[in-house]
Every structure is written in C-alpha cells, then in structure tokens.
Structure 1
C-alpha cells in the first residue's frame, strides 16, 4: 500500500510539472527573447542555472520535509493564476513572469510545507533577476542613471584637467561631443551586479548588517564602473580623435573591462567588511 501511495504521488507531481511547463512555455519564450536581444538582461540565461546551484548547495542544510499545506498552497497558486489573467488583460508581461515565482512558492508549500519552503525560497527568490523590469520603471531608472553618469563623468574629466561641460546627456570636451546614450546609462551593470550581490548574500555567512551593505552596494558599483568607461572613452577621444579606429577599440575594451572591475570592487568590499566588522570575543571571567 505504501509503495502504491508513493507511485501515485510520483505521477501526480510529474503531471503537475508537465502542466506547469505547458502553462508557462509562452512566458519562458518571451523571457528568452528578452535575454537574447536586450543587453541589460543578457545575464538571464545564468539565473536559472544559479538557482539550481543554490538548491544543490543547500542540500547539506536541508530543513527536512514538512507536512503538506494545501490550505495555504492552493490560495497562493490561485494568486499566481489571477496574476496571469491580469497580465494578459492589461498587457503587463512583468506580472506574468512574477506569477511563476508565486506558483513555485505555492508548489513548495504543497510539496513539503513551510520546512520545504525554507529550503527552496533562496532559489525561488533569485529567479526574480531573470524577469525584465516593467517598461516604465526601466525608462525612469535608465534616465536617472543616464543623467547621473553624465554629470559624474563630467566632474571626473574636470578633475583630470579637461575643460568638460555637460549639456543634457552630452559631454562637451574641447571641440568634441561625447554622447552618453541609453546603453551607457549603467542600467545593465546595475541589474547584473544586483544579481551578483544578492547571490553573494545567499552564499556567504555574514551578519545582517554586512549583507545589507553588500546589497546596497550594487548601485554605486554599477555607477563607478560606468563612469570609468565614459571617462576612459572621453580621454581616448581627446588624445586619439573620435574617428580613430584605436579609440573605438578602446571604447569596446572599456565595455569588456566593466565586469571584472565591478567584480574586483565587490571582492574588495567583502575584504573590507571582513576586516572592519569584527565579531567581539567573549571576556574571560576570573
């Protein structure tokens, strides 16, 4: 009897998994298209892989299988269904992608209750980074970052002794005009480093203060690396000329260097926090 129950449960979950894949296949196709053609979301290919890695890493700290909680799981899955309906009604793709995370939360509760959800929640939460931002949020964030990048780069060019002025999203340096386009706003780096910082928080064993500082650092790290690229490109244009093939090569090289520089800054931050925030040792009693 017990063997028949396990077999029945196995095929039940196979059926649910098949239905989940069939239901969300158009959603995943849309996400795949965004990852392929929108540069700031190209990291989306790695997000599901890293989520699976998180599940494997947490096997050593498995919270155990709890009792199924269908009275909570089914309402959560119903919320996911409502999100999908609203998404199709108002043409809001972000809500459709977010409903997948809600559904996986409900599935975890149905499979093993709160104990199993405590095991799966980091992997489910990390999947958030594979979902493109809503268009309005993306435009507003990109515009703000673009303005900040323009003014910050102008300031550092002035520090380097160049007569730089900002006019809108254009930097005027001598007779040259350096356009800070939308692609140079730093949104791509911010999204990528937000994923990196969140992954670091999930993997390292640090205090809550340290983890909060690491999460908050994704924005300044993205801005610093982006300003580095713009200033380096501006200096190359000044000394090599905007029509030089070498200056274009340097522009592309700075783009490739943004990732290792940002990762280096993140590692440097982790080193500072490890040496700055010390765990107090208990006093010896006489």
Structure 2
C-alpha cells in the first residue's frame, strides 16, 4: 500500500495533462510526417544536421514548463487573446497546407510556431505563451533558411573568408595567392565553395549560443547583449580558422588529406572552436559584468 501511494499521487498530479492529448494528437498527425521527411532528407545534410537537436531541446524546454498546462480551468483567456489565438492558428494551418501541398519546407516547418502559439493563446492565454516563449523561438532554428537569403549571403562570405585567409597565411610566410575565391598555395589550388561560407554553421552556432544564454540566466542585460552581438562574429572567425586549417593541411599533407577525413573533421572543429570562443567571452565578461543580484541572493 505504501509503495502505491507515491504512484497514485504522481498520477493525480499529472491528471490535468490528459485534457491536452487531443491537441498533442493533432500536432502529431500534422508534423510527424514532416519530421519523417526531414529525417530522411534535409537532416542528413551537414547544413541542417542540427535539426534533430533543436527538436529534442524544444520538447525538453516545453516539458520543463509543463506546470503551465495544469492551470485551473477557471483561468480562461480573454476575448482578445482568443481572437488573436484563432487568427494565428488559422494562419498557421493555412501555411502548413500550402507548404505541404507545394513541397515548400520553409512554410511547412515554419507553420509549427503560429500553430502552437495560437493553440496556447486559445486555451491558456498569453501567460502560457510567455512561459514558453523561448521554446517557440528556438523552433525558428529548425526552419530551413530561405534560398534568397542563402544566395545573397554566401557570395560575400566566401569573398571575405578568402581575403582574410590569404592575408593571414601570407603574413605567416606561406606561398599563397588569391584569384576571387580560388586560393593557390604551393602547387595546390583550393576553391572556397558555398559550403565553406559558414552560413549554416553561423545559424546552428547562433542556436547553441542563445540556448546557452537562456540556460545560464545571466542577470546582467549588458552581458547578455554583448554575447548575443558576438555570436555571429565568433562563428565567422571560427569559420576562417577552419578554412585556414584546411589550407594548411592541404599544403603540408596533400590534397587527398585536405579533401578527405580532415575536411569532415574541420566542420566539427568549427563548431567546437565557436563554442569555446563563446564560453571564453562569457567567462571574461563574468569578471567585468558579474551577476550581482544572484550573488547577493546566494550570500
């Protein structure tokens, strides 16, 4: 009898969640086929390999705030919240329908945000949406980048990376020259391709950087803003390091080494270097802009 009591109390505590099964089932019917398609397509590419991580983290963040779904039924949303919620829900469903029927992943995947936000406003109101704001925001990093954004950003990024890599390595004494985005080092020629622009790496590193800030909960607004502003420059700098390492590997070990296993390792290295730079910046800012309120509370 004693062993059953804790289980019974736990089930009683989770009982309010039963009312959400119809909504959860509806979301599963809509988006499980989408996730299945992503898992067998886009998520298998290097550019969007972070997609499953974003999904798992989002589910974890929602589970952390599960108390939101257990609020009393008497606390109903206002009429304005209901109207806005239905508008978002209808807009999200229409966006999903267009994206699904026309095979536009940008719309199909992106529709999750207005659909979930609309359902929250209709059922629980703005307080629930406020509690889950970061989980909804984090879903943005699952949405594929629009083609026009990729096309507009890739060219300039490749150019900047080529120029900086050439200047740094030339200053270090290496026999390197550049023609556009083609680098000649010794007897080898290397093309800074679209994949080397680092655009998608910036996207995924931004996701991890913002998640890090959310979990750290720094009380210093200035510290948070500095780190947010530094995420993209850090990702850009890490990508330059990756390209220079590939150039050096090719120069010292040959073209096969540069284009083989070490090329794949360099992608992982970019992500690790970016995160290390981010942690280092946060550590330094901790001395300049400490979390004073938190320290006082602990004292």
Is 1:54 paired with 2:61? yes
1:219 and 1:64 map into 2 onto residues whose CA distance is 39
Aligned partners of 2:242 and 2:266 also within 8 Å = yes
Shift of 1:85: 4.5
Q: CA 1:249/1:61 → structure 2, altered by over 3 Å: closer, same or farther?
A: same
Aligned to 2:119: 107
Aligned partners of 1:64 and 1:116 also within 8 Å = no
SS in 2 for 1:171: strand
Number of residue pairs matched by the alignment = 272
- Note the 1:105-254 alignment, pairs <5 A: 105-206=117-218, 207-243=220-256, 245=257, 248-254=260-266
Q: 1:20 aligns with which of 15, 27, 34?
A: 27
TM-score, normalised to structure 2's length?
0.79
Is 1:265 paired with 2:272? no
Q: Deviations over 1:24-68 (max 9, x none)?
A: 344333433444332111011111211122234456999966523
| Cα root mean square deviation, aligned | 2.9
Q: CA 1:271/1:60 → structure 2, altered by over 3 Å: closer, same or farther?
A: farther
2:70 and 2:225 map into 1 onto residues whose CA distance is 24
2:258 and 2:99 map into 1 onto residues whose CA distance is 47
2:259 and 2:38 map into 1 onto residues whose CA distance is 35
Aligned to 1:67: 76
SS in 2 for 1:177: strand
Q: CA 1:12/1:256 → structure 2, altered by over 3 Å: closer, same or farther?
A: closer
Shift of 1:237: 2.3
1:226 and 1:22 map into 2 onto residues whose CA distance is 39
Structure 2 unaligned segments of length 5 or more: list them.
Answer: 1-15, 294-299
Q: Answer with 224-233 or 263-272: which moved more.
A: 224-233
Q: CA 1:246/1:18 → structure 2, altered by over 3 Å: closer, same or farther?
A: closer
1:219 and 1:25 map into 2 onto residues whose CA distance is 32
Q: Answer with 269-278 or 247-256: which moved more.
A: 247-256
2:259 and 2:135 map into 1 onto residues whose CA distance is 42
Structure 1 unaligned segments of length 5 or more: list them.
Answer: 1-8, 282-286
Q: CA 1:269/1:56 → structure 2, altered by over 3 Å: closer, same or farther?
A: farther
SS in 1 for 2:134: helix
Q: Deviations over 1:102-161 (max 9, x none)?
A: 010011112211111111111111111111111221222222322222112112111211
Shift of 1:233: 2.0
2:290 and 2:104 map into 1 onto residues whose CA distance is 46
1:184 and 1:153 map into 2 onto residues whose CA distance is 12
Is 1:256 paired with 2:256? no
Q: CA 1:213/1:179 → structure 2, altered by over 3 Å: closer, same or farther?
A: same
SS in 1 for 2:217: coil
